[in-house]
Amino acid sequence: MMARFSLWMVLLLCLIIGPAAQAQSTQVSAALIDDAVLVTSSFTGAKVTVFGSVRAGSVGRTDIVVAVRGPDRPAWIAQRKRTAGLWIGKDQISFAAAPTFFGVASARPLEQIAPSDTLSLYGLRPKGQLDIAKASADSPLAETLIDAFVAQRQREKLYVDNPNGVKLLKGGLFRADIQMPDRTPPGLYTAKVMVFRNGRPAQSTLTTLVVTKVGAERALFEFARDHAVLHGLAGVLLALIAGLSAAGIVRRFAPG
């Protein structure tokens, strides 16, 4: 309710102060429809929606880019090689930090909005979000494995780029939608709105949202986090019970 109230306040404020802005200045205001995503047992993903308003000069083209970034986690990726008939991960690199989710929405492809180096400098490319570990930085396979890591996250829909995700509305208003998958991890997320004028960043604003587990999922998540050893032993015990039960069923129905 508070998120919806703040959204209307932002839009009302934009309509009041917008005409008073100077002709060539750029101003942007934005707010999330919902500032929290609740993950339950039936969670199939969520859509993050940002509404906002932009006031800019009449000369040149204005583009809006929205980037949603999840919390950082250490990560790694390995290149598998066939050894003695088995696929074994030998060459690998590690990341000191990598966003668990990274989604970008725009009204047209990013390559048409700004030069590649500008996009990387302002963190609108997933590769620019990765902090490779020092021990892996000098690996001859670093670039290849970084590309493979990004491609893997893209297949999992954890790194997304939607060139049709921003809809420009009347009166300088806009709407941006970014889809999160069902495996979206919990944590604190940021939503950054950037305004580009003629290929250059002109203004930006930042807000946050929370993805949190609720119900049984939250209880299980907190137990696994706070009691890792007990959680591991419980998993082993359940696997042992399942194995013994399966063996008993096989013996019962086995012929002879």
Distance spanning both ends of the chain, measured CA to CA: 67
Q: Give the residue with greater pLDDT, 43 vs 112.
A: 112
- The alpha carbons of the chain give a radius of gyration, in whole angstroms, of 24
Mean pLDDT of the 57-85 span = 85
Confidence of residue 43 (pLDDT cuts 50, 70, 90): confident
199-212 residue pLDDT tens: 999 999 999 999 98
Helix axes 216-226, 228-253, angle to 10 degrees: 110
Q: State residue 19's pLDDT score.
A: 44
Confidence of residue 18 (pLDDT cuts 50, 70, 90): very low
3-class secondary structure per residue, the chain:
CHHHHHHHHHHHHHHHHHHHCCCCCCEEEEEECCCEEEECCCCCCEEEEEEEEEECCCCCCEEEEEEEECCEEEEEEEEEEEECCEEEEEEEEEEEEEECCEEEEECCCHHHCCCHHHHHHCCCCHHHHCEECHHHHCCCCHHHHHHHHHHHHHHCCCEEEECCCEEECHHHEEEEEEEECCCCCCEEEEEEEEEEECCEEEEEEEEEEEEEECCHHHHHHHHHHHCHHHHHHHHHHHHHHHHHHHHHHHHHHCCC
Query: Is 221's pLDDT higher than 80?
Result: no
Mean pLDDT of the 14-34 span = 67
Give the C-alpha separation, 183 to 203, whole Å. 32
Confidence of residue 233 (pLDDT cuts 50, 70, 90): low
In contact, 30 and 50? CB cutoff 8 Å:
yes
Confidence of residue 42 (pLDDT cuts 50, 70, 90): confident
- Closest to 165 in 3D by CA, of 178, 180, 155: 178
Confidence of residue 7 (pLDDT cuts 50, 70, 90): low
Give the C-alpha separation, 172 to 14, whole Å. 9
Q: Give the residue with greater pLDDT, 92 vs 15.
A: 92
96-123 residue pLDDT tens: 999 999 999 999 999 999 999 999 999 9
Query: Is 20's pLDDT higher than 50?
Result: no
Query: Is 246's pLDDT higher than 80?
Result: no
120-147 residue pLDDT tens: 999 999 999 999 999 898 999 899 999 9
Mean per-residue pLDDT over the chain, rounded: 82
The number of C-alpha atoms within 13 Å of 248 and in the hemisphere containing its C-beta is: 6
Q: State residue 80's pLDDT score.
A: 74
Lowest-confidence segment of 16-25, 38-47, 50-59, 159-168 by average pLDDT? 16-25
In contact, 95 and 73? CB cutoff 8 Å:
no
Q: State residue 6's pLDDT score.
A: 57
